[in-house]
């Protein structure tokens, strides 16, 4: 299933997970995903570290297991910064053989290393390459507050347009904590003649150390309302978790009520929090009911036509 097609009929709800390093971790993740199978997100995206070597098979193995055991479509993240064309081509062959049709094409981050690209400099180079070497539905990353390396939103928007012109059919944003950022971003995209669906990345931020790390890495400016929570509950993990979940739910309710294209939940592999959020919002997404979720993947494909 091409995930970009989903947006024609519904408000999409999807989740992101990362592949655990150990076999035991992967087994635990699959068990916790089986426990939330009734949620049936429209797709699950699986990250891949740009810097670590040879981890792409972990992403692939989890994507394949999710599709086969849960009947849920997946998006494999593919960062290109440290890959050669040959390596990416081989990986595309593996993805195709495993039945993974959707890719989030990324440049990736250098971590602490200096950026030293090999065959790809930008995500748009990768998107062009994928289109020439396979039949994938391609998504790309987007940054409502602009990418931290960009000098201004105009050039960032124009570079985003290059990704869409190269063939990205759907965008997923970096985590958003102020919904106004999303709506202003959508306006900018419309002005730039970019008309693909944009899912909002929502991170249920449930501990204050996590938020410090993330804002340092991403350069995201947090709204006052959210900062008040992190300051007040920094030393009270239970209150911080409850407040973080309530904040994420409040954001999602507001976004759905105002016609967002889709919600992409950064789960951090915490399916308990995912369940909590889902229970609070499931009735706002009436076409994603439990009964529909119990169909097999093939039946669902037929229903959706």
Using the rule CB under 6 A, which residue among 11, 14, 64, 124 binds ligand FAD? Answer: 124
We find the least distance from the C-beta atom of residue 171 to ligand FAD, in angstroms, to be 8
Question: Which of 219, 217, 239 is CA-nearest to residue 228?
Answer: 239
Does 159 engage in binding with ligand FAD (CB under 6 A)?
Answer: yes
The nearer residue to ligand FAD, 241 or 264, going by C-beta atoms, is 264
Whole-number Å distance between alpha carbons of 68 and 90: 22
Build a one-symbol-per-residue string for 33-72: x at contacts with ligand FAD by CB under 6 A, - elsewhere. --------------xxxx----------------------
Residue among 117 and 134 whose Cβ is closer to ligand FAD: 117
One residue of 33, 100, 123, 164 binding ligand FAD per CB under 6 A: 123
Rounded alpha-carbon distances, angstroms, from residue 42 to 25, 245, 285:
24, 21, 11
Residue 35: phi and psi, rounded to 5, are -65, -25
Find the helix packing angle between 237-257 and 224-232, rounded to 10°. Answer: 160
What is the three-class DSSP state of 139?
strand
Q: Which of 6, 75, 77, 214 binds ligand FAD (CB under 6 A)?
A: 77
Q: Pick between residue 192 and residue 234 the one whose CB is nearest to ligand FAD.
A: 192
269 binds ligand FAD (CB under 6 A): no
> Least separation, in Å, of the C-beta of 158 and ligand FAD?
8
Under rule CB under 6 A, residue 188 binds ligand FAD:
no
Give the pair of three-digit tokens for residue 50. 């740009």
DSSP string for 18-73 = ---SSHHHHHHHHHHHHHTGGG--SEEEE---SSSTT-HHHHHHHHHHIIIII--E
- For position 166 contacting ligand FAD by CB under 6 A, the verdict is no
Instruction: Report the C-alpha gap between 279 and 258 in whole angstroms.
Output: 20
Q: How far apart are CA 95 and CA 103, in angstroms?
A: 9
Q: Taking CB under 6 A as the rule, does residue 206 contact ligand FAD?
A: no
Total site size for ligand FAD, rule CB under 6 A? 25
The catalytic position among 5, 16, 86, 199 is 16
Q: Is the dihedral of CA 49, 52, 58, 64 positive or negative?
A: positive
CB 39 → ligand FAD: shortest distance, Å?
Answer: 20
As measured in angstroms, the least distance from the Cβ of 226 to ligand FAD is: 18
Annotate 120-139 with b (16+ C-beta within 10 A) or e (fewer): bebbbbbbbbbeeebebbbb
106 binds ligand FAD (CB under 6 A): yes
- Catalytic (active site) residue 184: no
Catalytic residues: 16
User: Residues interacting with ligand FAD, by CB under 6 A?
Assistant: 47-50, 77, 79, 104, 106-109, 122-124, 141, 147, 149-150, 156, 159, 162-163, 172, 174, 201
């Amino acid at each position: 299933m091409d995930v970009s097609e989903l947006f024609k009929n519904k408000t999409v709800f999807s989740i992101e997970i990362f592949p655990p390093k150990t076999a035991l971790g992967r087994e635990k993740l699959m068990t916790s995903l089986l426990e939330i199978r009734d949620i049936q997100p429209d797709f699950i995206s699986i990250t891949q570290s740009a810097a670590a070597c040879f981890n792409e098979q972990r992403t692939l193995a989890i994507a394949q297991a999710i599709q086969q055991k849960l009947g849920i479509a997946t998006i494999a993240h593919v960062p290109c910064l440290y890959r050669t064309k040959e390596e990416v081509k081989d990986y595309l062959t593996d993805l195709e053989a495993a039945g993974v049709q959707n890719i989030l094409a990324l440049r990736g981050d250098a971590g602490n290393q200096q950026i030293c690209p090999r065959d790809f400099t930008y995500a748009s180079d990768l998107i062009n390459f994928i289109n020439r070497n396979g039949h994938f539905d391609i998504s790309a990353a987007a940054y409502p507050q602009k990418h931290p390396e960009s000098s201004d939103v105009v050039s960032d928007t124009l570079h985003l347009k290059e990704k869409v012109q190269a063939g990205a059919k759907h965008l997923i944003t970096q985590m958003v904590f102020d919904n106004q950022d999303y709506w202003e971003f959508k306006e900018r995209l419309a002005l730039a003649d970019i008309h693909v669906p944009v899912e909002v990345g929502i991170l249920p931020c449930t501990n204050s150390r996590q938020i410090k790390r993330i804002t340092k890495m991403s350069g995201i400016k947090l709204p006052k309302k959210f900062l008040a929570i992190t300051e007040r509950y920094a030393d009270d993990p239970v209150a911080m978790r409850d407040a973080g979940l309530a904040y994420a739910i409040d954001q999602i309710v507001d976004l759905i009520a105002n016609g967002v294209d889709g919600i992409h939940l950064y789960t951090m592999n915490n399916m308990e929090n995912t369940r909590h959020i889902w229970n609070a919002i499931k009735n706002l997404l009436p076409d994603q009911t439990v009964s529909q979720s119990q169909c097999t993947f093939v039946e669902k494909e037929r229903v959706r036509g």
